[in-house]
Amino acid sequence: MRDTLHEASVEALLPSPRPVQLLDPTGAPVAQSGTRRPYPMPSADRLQDVWRHMVLGRRFDLQATALTKQGRLAVYPSSRGQEACQVGAIRSLTARDWVFPTYRESMALVTRGIDPVEVLALLRGSAHCGYDPPAQRTAAQCTPLATQLVHAAGTAYGLKRRGEDCVALGFIGDGATSEGDFHEALNFAAVFDAPAIFFVQNNKYAISVPLSKQTKAPSLAYKGIGYGVACEQVDGNDPAAVMAVMDAALDHCRSGRGPFLIEAHTYRLDAHTNADDASRYRSGDEVTAWLERDPIARLEAYLRASGLLNDDQANAVRQEAEALATDLRNRMNTNPEVDPMSLFDNVFASPTPQVAEARAMVEAEIKAEMNAEMQTAEEVTR
């Protein structure tokens, strides 16, 4: 009996043998078979909503990419092609849930309702973080790999201790699953039954390193089993499937059954950042093949075939997207007013002696430079 119970508990952790899919690349519904959990199709309202936000998200992403070429952003990691992951995951959450993004989740943060200009402050270089994390219940975007997952696990546990019905969603890329923080976060969350969802966007490359050079695991989703974390893998270019799996993960967490790991199989259509030359490590044919799995086109085909979207509605959303892009472009073309001393704000809740010392040093240098400029100006006017 004990062995039977053990086998059942292990079985409950396993991901489906193949990525969950509700819509094929043409937008046709897929009959469910071989999945370990039931995944009903999301409602029509939710599918229409996520399609709209994917269209808006992609237009934002394209505009942000253009801003790097105009010198308005120092760097931008595009998420074009990963709209179903970022938008589908975010639109499955409630406003009370927390989000812990990587540097690539700008689209996700805009979808969450954060001002696009505030989202891009980090990549513009005008602030460590342009928005208020506690107010948005969204952590600052994270450049170090996987460190945000430890914060997500701890926050989830803290929310549980407070009795709040909240979930912490931590985004991560496939390359970051090789980092120690990833494993520490999963282990902590499992031991303390923290309501955390770890969402791996497996876009096949850790910058230029292919997945085959990172792991021999049959799927990254299996990495959670050793820690006692329930897992699932999903077609990350199928918005309906992403939302369905997110619904299952959220129910798992909210019902007190601990954390959940999702691996979304997707693809980064653009380079790692605007500073990367992706042609050095992947072929054009590979990119073309993934273009045919476009998540926006896939869901649009389903909505049109189901009578849930027509030309007028689609054009209205695309006009809305253009208006948002124009507004972003106009506001980003204004140089931000930056106080150098703000560099030391919000580093710690209470400034440490080291931060205070660094602040005083920079303040002294600025004053010395201003005094020198004034002296030079006086000499010129004499």
Q: Which residues contact 242 (CB under 8 A, 6 or more apart)?
A: 84, 85, 88, 89, 92, 234, 235, 236, 264
C-alpha 192/C-alpha 117 separation (Å) is 37
Which is catalytic among the residues 272, 293, 298, 302?
272
Letter for the amino acid at 80? Answer: R
Q: Let me know the angle formed at the C-alpha of 210 by 204 and 216, rounded to the nearest 5 degrees.
A: 95
Residue 97 DSSP class: S
* Exposure of 99 in the CB half-sphere (CA atoms within 13 A): 30
Taken as a whole, the chain contains a residue count of: 382
* 272 is a catalytic site residue: yes
CA 49, chain centre distance (Å): 18
265 included as an active-site residue? no
Contact 129, 143 (CB under 8 A): no
CB 281 within 8 Å of CB 205: yes
Which of the residues 52, 91, 265, 268 is marked catalytic? 268
Q: How far apart are CA 338 and CA 327, in angstroms?
A: 21
Instruction: Answer yes or no: are the C-beta atoms of 127 and 342 closer than 8 Å.
Output: yes
Residues labelled as active-site residues:
268, 272, 281
